[in-house]
Amino acid sequence: MTTTARTVVIAQTGGPQVLHLMDRPVGDPGPGEVRIRHKACGLNYIDVYYRSGMYPLALPHGIGMEAAGVIEAVGDGVTHLKAGDRAAYASQPPGACTEARVMPAAQVCPLPDAIGFDEGAAMMLQGMTVEYLFHRTVPLKAGDTVLFHAAAGGVGLIACQWAKSEGITLIGTAGSDAKCQLALDHGAAHMINYASEDFPARVRELTGGRGVDVVMDSVGRDTFEGSLDCLRPLGMMITFGNASGPVPPVDLAGLARRGSLQITRPTLFTHIADHETCQAMAAHLCDKVASGAVKITIGQRFALADVAVAHRALEARQTTGSTILTL
C-alpha cells in the first residue's frame, strides 16, 4: 500500500522561510520498521538546529523529532507493537513533521490509553530528556539541589514537577516574572529572573554559599560561565542544549580552580539508541504522567501548515511549556 502524506521538508538550511509543506509518498514498512499515522507532532529547539544547519542533514530532508499516533502496519521482526496500537516517539532520523511515515520501530513506544495524543506528542523528547538528566547522567536523590535554566520551557516545566515528585530542590531561571511564576506553579522551589537578577549571586544566597549539586543548562553560551560559579566543589555541569549559541572552548584548568568541577555534554539519542533502554525510559515517563506526578503543559498549538510561524515563536522565546503541531 502506498499513500502520500503532507510533510515539512527543507531543501536548504536557513531561517523559518526554508520550511516547506509538500506531499511525499509513504510506502510499506520493511523489516524492523513501522508505518505510523500521526495525530500530533512535537516542536523542539533541536528542530531549529537542524533547520539552521547547526546539526547537518543530507538535503532535502524532513524535519521534526517527535510525534504520536496510531500504528498502521509493522514489518518483520517488530514484536513490541502491532497495527492499531497507540504509540509515541522521540527518535532519529528527523522527519516527524508529517501526517504519516515509515520509520525504524526500535524507538517507537506504546502510548497508554490514559495519555492523549497531544500530550504524547508533546512529552517524549522533553520528558525522556528529564528522565536521563535526573536518573542516568547523575543519579539524583531526595535532598539534592539542582539549578535548571529555562525552567518555564517544555523541558523545564517537566523538570520542575519531576524534581518535586522526588524531593529534589530545583532552583530555576527564566526571563520574566510571569515565566518565573509559571515554573513555581509547576513545582520549582525557587525561581530567578535572570533579566533582573544576578543568578550566580542569588544561587549562592539560596544555598547558603554552598552552591548546587548539579546545573542543567540548555541555554548554552549566555549562561555557561555563570553556571559554573553556581556549583559546589565536585559539582556536575550538564550542558544539553545551545539555545543562545554553542558554548565556547572550555578552560579545563578553570574547572580545577572552581573546585574540581565535572562537566558533560550528553544527548537523548545516545541514551535511547538501545531499544530496551529507550522503552524503559518511555515507560518511566508514562508512569509519571499517568500517575499525575507530571502534567504536560501544552502552551501553544499550531497547524502543520503554520510550522514556520511556530519556529519563529520558539526562537523568539515567545513560547511556554511544550509546543505541538496539529494535523
CATH code for position 181: 3.40.50.720
Same domain for 212 and 236? Answer: yes
Half-sphere exposure of 255 (CA within 13 A, CB side): 14
d(CA 168, CA 16): 38
Q: What is the pLDDT of residue 271?
A: 96
- Residue 181 maps to a domain: yes
Query: What is the 8-class DSSP label of residue 166?
Result: T
Same domain for 199 and 110? Answer: no
- Domain count within the chain: 2
- Residue 13 maps to a domain: yes
Same domain for 158 and 106? Answer: no
Same domain for 230 and 289? Answer: no
- What SS3 state is found at 108? strand
Q: Kindly report the CATH number assigned to the domain that includes residue 296.
A: 3.90.180.10
Grid cell for residue 127: 520528558
Same domain for 146 and 255? Answer: yes
Half-sphere exposure of 176 (CA within 13 A, CB side): 9
- Residue 134 maps to a domain: no
Same domain for 256 and 148? Answer: yes
- Residue 130 maps to a domain: no
Q: Which of 222, 248, 265 is the last residue of a domain?
A: 265
Same domain for 209 and 251? Answer: yes
Same domain for 153 and 85? Answer: no
Q: What is the pLDDT of residue 321?
A: 84
- Residue 133 maps to a domain: no
Q: How do the pLDDT tens digits run along the chain, 327 residues long?
A: 458 999 999 999 999 999 999 999 999 999 999 999 999 999 998 999 999 999 999 999 999 999 999 999 999 999 999 999 999 999 999 999 999 999 999 999 999 999 999 999 999 999 999 999 999 998 899 999 999 999 998 899 999 999 999 999 999 999 999 999 999 999 999 999 999 999 999 999 999 999 999 999 999 999 999 999 999 999 999 999 888 888 989 999 999 999 999 999 999 999 999 999 999 999 999 999 999 999 999 999 999 999 999 999 999 988 888 999 999
Residue range of the domain that includes 197: 142-265
- Residue 135 maps to a domain: no
Q: What is the pLDDT of residue 2?
A: 53
Q: Which of 221, 248, 265 is the last residue of a domain?
A: 265
Same domain for 175 and 76? Answer: no
Cell 533541536 belongs to 46
Interacting residues of 269 by C-beta distance below 8 A, sequence separation 6+: 91, 92
Same domain for 150 and 200? Answer: yes
- Residue 231 maps to a domain: yes
Specify the pairing of strand 212-217 against strand 231-239: parallel
* Angle at CA of residue 215, ends 212 and 216, nearest 5°: 150
Same domain for 186 and 103? Answer: no
Q: Which of 265, 285, 307 is the last residue of a domain?
A: 265
- Residue 132 maps to a domain: no
Grid cell for residue 38: 500521526
The residues facing 241 across adjacent strands are: none
Same domain for 25 and 108? Answer: yes
